[in-house]
Structure 1
Amino acid sequence: MDPSKMRLMGLMTILLFLGIASELGSCKVVQFIFGDSLSDVGNNKYLPRSLATANLPWYGIDFGNGLPNGRFTNGRTVADIIGDKTGLPRPPAFLDPSLDEDMILNNGVNYASGGAGILNETGSLFIQRLPFSKQIELFQGTQDLIKNKIGTVEAKNFFEESRYVIAIGSNDFINNYLMPTYRDSWTYNDNSFISYLMTTLEQQLKQLHSLGARKLIVFGLAPMGCIPLQRVLSLTGKCQTRTNKLAVSFNTAAQKLIENLSENLPNASYRFGNAYDVVEDVINNPHKYGFNNSDSPCCSFGRIRPALTCIPASTLCPDRSKYVFWDEYHPSDTANEMMATEIITRLGFLPTNKTSPPSEAPTAAPHSAPAPATATATVPAPAPH
C-alpha cells in the first residue's frame, strides 16, 4: 500500500478513536430519586385526588421564583443539595408532563411522592400517593423508554452508571404504625414491625439491583419524635421518646441490611446515610448551629396547632434561616443544607459531573418574612412527613 495512504488511514483511525473516547468521556451521570415528601419535587401536584400536596404559598418561597413547586419546604430538599454539591443535575418529577427521553438522559428522574412509604398500605389517608413499590414499577417503565431510545446495551450502561437515592420510611411510622386506624398498629409490635419493613425493603432493593442500580444510597431516619407535630401531640411539648427509639431501631436494621446487600449483590456499592445524631444535637442545641428555634414550625397558623400544612393565611417566622422546621413535618432549607453537608462529609462524596449548581438555587439568607397573604384560607389537609 502507498505510504501516504497508510498514513492517511492511520490518521483517520486515531481521529475515530479520539472521537469515540471523547463521546464516551462526555457521558453524563444522572440520579434517580425515590422517596416521600422529604424528596418530592412535584409528583403529588399531578395527582388530582391527593391530600398530600405542597401547592399553596408559602411553600417554595425561597426557591427560584418563590412560587410553590411541589417541594414540601421553603427551599431545597436534601437530595437537591447533595446533587448540587456533587455536580449531579436535579431530576424532574416523573409526572411532569414535559418529561421525555432526552430529559431523562440529561437529568434523571425523581419518583418521590408525599405520603409514600415502604409499605403499600402506608399513607392511605392521603388518598393518592406513589408507594415505593409503585415508584420502582415506574422506574422499570422508564427503562423501557430509554432502551427504545438508545438501545439495550447503551441503556444498560447508562443505568448502571447512574446514582440512586432512597429517602423513605418516616411515613411507615408516622402515617401507619403509630396510628390506631391502621391495621399494622395492632398486628405488629415494635420489633416485628421493623422486621416487616426490612423484609419488604430488602425485596425492593434487590429488585432495583436487578434493574441496574449499582451505586445507591439510602437515607436514615431523623428523630421523628421531635418534629413539631409530634411535640404538639405529646401535650408536654417534648419529643416523643418511643417514636425516636423506633427511628434509631430502623436505622440500625437498615444499615445492617444495606451493608449485607452491598457485600452480596454483584457490583453493588450501597451506602447508608445516617445523620440522626447530628440532627438530634441540632434539635437539642439549636444555637450551637446558628438556629434559634427547633421545636415549632416557621410557617404556622397563629396559635391554632397543628395546622398540618402551610397555607396562604399562615404567618411566617421573622427569619426562616433560623428555624429548623418549616412546617409541622418538614425541615427548612437551612436545616436541609446542614443535613446534606453532613451526609456528604460522612460518606466522602466526590464531585461527579463538572457542572455548576442550578441558577434557580435559593438565596443564601432568607431573613425577612413577607406581608401576610390576602388569599382566602382553605381547610388544611393532612401533610406527610
Structure 2
Amino acid sequence: MIKSKSKTLVAIYALIMLLFLVDGYNCKIVQFIFGDSLSDVGNNNYLSKSLARANLPWYGIDFDNGLPNGRFSNGRTVADIIGDSMGLPRPPAFLDPNLNEDLVLKNGVNYASGGGGILNETGSFFVQRLSLYKQIELFQGTQVLIRAKIGDTEADKFFQEARYVVALGSNDFINNYLMPIYSDSWTYNDNSFIQYMMGIFREQLILLHGLGARQLMVFGLGPMGCIPLQRVLSSSGDCQDRTNKLALSFNQASTQLLDDLSSTLPNASFRFGDAYDVVNDLITNPNKYGFSNSDSPCCSFGKIRPALTCVPASILCKDRSKYVFWDEYHPSDSANQLIATELIKKFGFKPVNETESPSPAPSMAPSADGN
C-alpha cells in the first residue's frame, strides 16, 4: 500500500512538473528585432565576407567585458535600452551558433544586420548583409523549429504575444539611392523612390502580420544628413539638407502606412516611432543635453576623414559620454540612452515582464590613448 501511494505521488509530481515546463514556454513575452546596424548585435560578425562588421576594437569598449560584440557602438543600442525598460530579455543574434529553440523561447531573436535595408539591392557594396526580406525568411525558419518544439497552438500564442521591432531605412538612402553606383539612384526621383520603398515595405509588414506579428513598432529615421559621414561630404561641414528631407518624407509615408495597416489588419497594433525631432534637437543643441560634440565621431583615424569604421589604430575622444556620435555612422551609448529615454516617455512603453537585471549603463573608462 505504501509503495502504491509513493508511486502515485511520484506520478502526480511528474505530471505537475511537466505541466509547469510546458506552461513555462508561454509565461514570458519576448521580442523579435529586424533592423540594420543600429540594432545589429552580432549577425554580421558571422558573415565572413561582409565589409560591415563591428568586430574590431574599440567597438563594445563600454559594454560588459569591453570586447567587440557585434554592436556598432561603444555600448548599448536603443533597442537594448528600450527592451530593458520593458522587462524584455535581450534577444541574441540569429547567427549566434549557440542559438537553439530553448533560447528563442526564453529570449526571442535579433535578425538585424549592418548594411541591410528594406530593399534587397541596398548595401550590396558591403558584399554580405541581410535585407529585410532575408531577415523575415530567417524568422520563418525559426517558426518552423518552434512549432516542432511546442506545437502549433502554443506557437501561435507565443508569436502573437511577442513584441516586434522593425528599424531600417537609412541604408536604403545612404547606401543605395544617394550613391550613383546603384541603379536606383538614376531610376527614381525622391518622391518615386519613397513610393517604391513603401510598396515593398507594405508587403513585408503584411507578411510579418501573417506570421503572427500583432504588436509591432517601426522606428523612423533621424536626421541622417547630420551623421558625420554626411557632414564630411560638405566643404562647410553642415548637415546635408536633401538627405534630411528624405528622412522626413520617409517618416511621413511610414506613419500613413502604419496607420492604414493597423486599421485594416486583424488585431494589429502597428505603431510608428518617430524620433526625428528628438535626435535633431540633440544634434542642434548638444550642450542642452550635456554633450559637447555632435558633428564628429568619438572614434576616428586622426585627421583622415571619413574613416568608415573604428579600427585598433583609431584615436578615441577624451570623454565618450560627451560625444553624440561614436563613429561616422552610429550614435554613442550616451546618445542612445537619451534617445531611448525620450522615446519611452513619448510612447509610454510599459513593462510587459517582471523587470530583470539588465547590463547597467556603462561607466565610461579612460580613452585608449590615455586621455
TM-score interval, normalised by the smaller of the two chains: over 0.9
- Does 1:81 find its partner at 2:81? yes
Contact 1:64–1:362 at 8 Å: present in 2 too? no
Describe the superposition over 1:261-296 as per-residue Cα deviations: whole angstroms up to 9, x where unpaired: 011100000111111011111111100011000000
**Letter of the structure 2 residue corresponding to residue 306 of structure 1:** P
2:180 is aligned to 180
Contact 2:73–2:331 at 8 Å: present in 1 too? yes
**Letter of the structure 2 residue corresponding to residue 335 of structure 1:** A
1:216 is aligned to 216
**Letter of the structure 2 residue corresponding to residue 336 of structure 1:** N
1:299 is aligned to 299
Contact 2:261–2:270 at 8 Å: present in 1 too? yes
Residue 26 of structure 1 and its aligned partner are, at CA, apart by 6.5
Distance 1:47 1:206 in 2: 28
Contact 2:85–2:355 at 8 Å: present in 1 too? no
2:165 is aligned to 165
Distance 1:108 1:278 in 2: 28
Describe the superposition over 1:235-269 as per-residue Cα deviations: whole angstroms up to 9, x where unpaired: 21000000000000000000110011011100000
2:364 is aligned to 366
Contact 2:25–2:106 at 8 Å: present in 1 too? no
- Does 1:196 find its partner at 2:206? no
Distance 1:149 1:288 in 2: 51
- Superposition CA RMSD, Å: 1.8
1:123 is aligned to 123
Describe how 1:1-385 pairs up with structure 2 within 5 A. 23=23, 27-358=27-358, 360-363=359-362, 365-366=363-364, 368-371=366-369
Residue 368 of structure 1 and its aligned partner are, at CA, apart by 2.2
Question: Secondary structure of the equivalent of 1:217?
Answer: strand
Q: Which runs of 5+ in 1 are unaligned?
A: 1-11, 373-385
Contact 1:53–1:114 at 8 Å: present in 2 too? yes
Contact 1:318–1:367 at 8 Å: present in 2 too? no
Q: Give the total of aligned pairs.
A: 355
Contact 2:43–2:112 at 8 Å: present in 1 too? yes
| Identical counterparts, % of pairs | 70
Question: Secondary structure of the equivalent of 1:109?
Answer: strand
Contact 1:85–1:357 at 8 Å: present in 2 too? no
Contact 1:321–1:367 at 8 Å: present in 2 too? no
Residue 104 of structure 1 and its aligned partner are, at CA, apart by 0.1
Describe the superposition over 1:306-354 as per-residue Cα deviations: whole angstroms up to 9, x where unpaired: 0010000001011101000000000000111111111111111110110
How does the TM-score come out when normalised to structure 2? 0.93
Describe the superposition over 1:80-109 as per-residue Cα deviations: whole angstroms up to 9, x where unpaired: 111111100000000000000000000000
Question: Secondary structure of the equivalent of 2:232?
Answer: helix
Contact 2:37–2:116 at 8 Å: present in 1 too? yes
Question: Secondary structure of the equivalent of 1:294?
Answer: strand
Describe the superposition over 1:150-184 as per-residue Cα deviations: whole angstroms up to 9, x where unpaired: 00110000000000001100000000000011000
Distance 1:25 1:101, change over 3 A: closer
Contact 2:43–2:70 at 8 Å: present in 1 too? yes
Distance 2:285 2:234 in 1: 20
Residue 357 of structure 1 and its aligned partner are, at CA, apart by 3.2
Distance 1:200 1:283 in 2: 31
Q: Which runs of 5+ in 2 are unaligned?
A: 1-11
Distance 2:323 2:252 in 1: 28
How does the TM-score come out when normalised to structure 1? 0.90
Contact 1:74–1:326 at 8 Å: present in 2 too? yes
